[in-house]
Amino acid sequence: MTLQRLLPSLLAADPAGSAGVFGAPFVEAPAMFKRQGVYYAMFGKCCAFCAHGTGIGVYSAPAPLGAWTYHENIGCVGGEPKAGCG
C-alpha cells in the first residue's frame, strides 16, 4: 500500500509527498481515518471471493504520510501478521 499527496489542483500526484510503500504486498480495499489525532490505515490481502475470507491489517501514524506502524491483523484468529487468513 502507498499513500500519495496530491497537488492543490487534485489532478496529479505531488512528487515530494509520498508515504512510500508500507504493509504487506498484494493488498486491496484500503480504508483510512483519523481518530483522536492518530491516523489509521486498514487493508486486507487480495482474495476476491475467497471462501475462507481474509484479515484486516491495522497501521497507525502521527501524520498521513507516515511513518506507519503495524499493529495486528484484526480479522484473523491469532493475529496472523501481515499475511491475511486462510
The 10s digit of each residue's pLDDT in 19-38 is: 888 888 888 888 999 999 99
The 10s digit of each residue's pLDDT in 33-61 is: 999 999 999 988 787 677 666 778 899 99
Residues 6+ apart with CB under 8 A from 34: 40
- Angle CA(71)–CA(48)–CA(77) in degrees, nearest 5? 35
Report the mean per-residue pLDDT for the chain. 82
